[in-house]
């Protein structure tokens, strides 16, 4: 009975250590990584799935930046148009 409990606890401990190691590895790739010339080899050392996920995040970030810039341009255009209309009416 004691050997069964000891064997079970060793297996549980080994599973915990392995899952902790996998968690640490997956946590490292979750931070944002932008591809450029300097870190090309680091980028290529990622797995295909990791590269896909990182490029998808980068693409979403770029899309949001473009949306924000477009919104800012539209707002500025509206303000300029209004100020020109008030000057023309005066």
Q: Same domain, yes or no, for 68 and 24?
A: no
pLDDT at 2: 72
Q: Do residues 6 and 48 share a domain? A: no
Domain around 25: 1-30
Q: 21 — alpha (psi -120 to 50), left (phi > 0) or beta? A: alpha
Residue 55 has pLDDT above 70, yes or no: yes
Separation of alpha carbons 64 and 72, rounded Å = 12
Q: Do 24 and 44 share a structural domain?
A: no
Asked if pLDDT for residue 29 goes beyond 60, the answer is no
Alpha carbons 21 and 55: distance in angstroms, whole number: 25
- Mean pLDDT for the stretch of residues 11-20: 79
Cβ–Cβ under 8 Å, residues 51 and 43: yes
Are 75 and 59 in the same domain? yes
Q: Are residues 26 and 44 in the same domain?
A: no
pLDDT (0 to 100) of residue 73: 95
> Are residues 38 and 20 both part of a single domain?
no
Looking at the fold, whether 47 and 65 belong to one and the same domain comes out as yes
Structural domain count, the chain: 2
């Amino acid at each position: 009975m004691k050997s069964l409990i000891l064997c079970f606890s060793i297996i549980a401990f080994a599973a915990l250590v392995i899952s902790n190691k996998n968690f640490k590895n997956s946590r490292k790739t979750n931070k944002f990584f932008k591809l450029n010339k300097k870190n090309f080899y680091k980028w290529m050392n990622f797995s295909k799935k990791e590269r896909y996920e990182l490029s998808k995040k980068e693409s979403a970030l770029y899309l949001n930046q473009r949306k924000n810039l477009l919104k800012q341009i539209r707002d500025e255009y509206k303000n300029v148009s209004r100020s020109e209309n008030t000057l023309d009416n005066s």
